[in-house]
Structure 1
């Protein structure tokens, strides 16, 4: 059952649109999607809105950057239907995802620190392939994994050995050793192979571990910005909930 709306000053679609830098069609679309409460109609069938609709629109526009259009729409639809608990669940889901992103970043930083300076360059281990790299057995022993694990990582695109032309044996050069070391650290942190793949690709794109410092700083900045955006969205959502004059949670 939907919430009982407060009525006040009447606004035309164009008034609502101009105040938020939107088209009147966008406002109508938002109403049709349930982002805005249903508008009253004049005797001639024209939509009329109230300041409460304007507050709902502000809430949605504040929620969308942090939650994404789809989730923000679902939040507003739930609120307008009186299903506040569902709206709160959706909000919590985005915050949980942000926390998981922070944990992933921390795992990456820990993994990179664990490599230590020059860790990847020490590829000349006993039984290796000389200065050109190392074979699968010695590398697996060094990492404390089975050769089958290294082959699995290779199939997932995480490690890219080359084949020795004469024997066809896998040879892991400095970059491949680095990727294997980083993969092992991230697996120890509980990350799945599909989660590790884009991180390994970032290392390759950056040209190694050291250039990733700028990437990691940018990553921190993006997470901080998203956190503040979520706070702004929460403030506007709370203002809308308060304006509707309903209890803070839906009670059956």
Structure 2
């Protein structure tokens, strides 16, 4: 039977400091260590795998979600544990899809910007005619949070300035491409917070690169997570494999 691992052994195997290993146990990221008769902590290979899994998860989804996930996995059934990990993958996939939608919208903006402008301030009828849609469609987009027309006069008539006209043209282009209202709401919110189109496009492409890095980190966490949630009596690591369990980089 392999000898118990000391705190310093776990630290060396994972790249954490001794204090960080103790903190991870205190936070519930690591299963509780067995205490020997002299009061010292006695760890095992499963603790090393848990620390390694946390490091990769922290890179993938951030330390707060990583801690919450690791705590939730302690004692979870295999079905619940697998579902929790699937949710993390789904979250990254959703971020990627939303970013790609925003990039598509920027392309639509460029395309629409090249088209002749119908005017700087339009009534709802004029804008509907310019886009080839019904006025009821514009009201629906407004109710869905996609458009914000000005209201003027005692009758509170809708008037669309240049920003609203530009947004309406992008919405119309993406609706024609098959985008649903929920996706459009995310895209419009994204575009309003990005500013200049050229800078926004670079920022979105950088975000895609970072999402890819996080996805790879989540994949790396997979084998360690399987060892954490699996029956502790199955597929134990040897002491030699523990010493090779982690690269030197550390996510705190």
Q: Distance in 2 between matches of 1:191 and 1:45?
A: 60
CA contact (8 A) 2:103 2:201 kept: no
The residue number in structure 2 matching 1:76 is 70
User: Following superposition of structure 1 onto structure 2, how do residues 1-252 of structure 1 map, counting pairs within 5 Å?
Assistant: 8-12=3-7, 15-17=9-11, 20-22=15-17, 24=19, 26-77=20-71, 79-81=73-75, 83-115=77-109, 117-119=111-113, 122-124=116-118, 131-147=119-135, 149-151=137-139, 153-154=141-142, 158-162=146-150, 169-186=157-174, 188-192=178-182, 194-203=185-194, 205-206=195-196, 209-238=197-226, 244-246=232-234
If the length of structure 1 is used for normalisation, what is the TM-score? 0.70
- Distance 1:161-1:231 versus aligned 2 partners, 3 A rule: same
Deviation at 1:57, TM superposition (A): 0.9
- Determine helix, strand or coil for the equivalent of 2:111: coil
- Distance 1:32-1:211 versus aligned 2 partners, 3 A rule: closer
Q: Distance in 2 between matches of 1:242 and 1:132?
A: 63
Deviations 1:149-205 (A, max 9, x none): 5356557764344466899644323332111122344554124265234223135x1
Deviation at 1:65, TM superposition (A): 2.0
Q: Distance in 2 between matches of 1:59 and 1:155?
A: 45
Equivalent pairs counted in the alignment come to: 231
Q: Distance in 2 between matches of 1:120 and 1:160?
A: 23
- Determine helix, strand or coil for the equivalent of 1:181: helix
- Determine helix, strand or coil for the equivalent of 1:171: strand
* Structure with larger RCO (C-alpha < 8 A, sep 6+): 2
Q: Distance in 1 between matches of 2:174 and 2:17?
A: 45
Q: Distance in 2 between matches of 1:185 and 1:228?
A: 34
Return 5+ residue gaps in structure 2 as ranges: 236-252
Q: Distance in 2 between matches of 1:157 and 1:186?
A: 15
Q: Distance in 1 between matches of 2:234 and 2:67?
A: 20
Q: Distance in 2 between matches of 1:156 and 1:227?
A: 32
- Distance 1:154-1:76 versus aligned 2 partners, 3 A rule: same
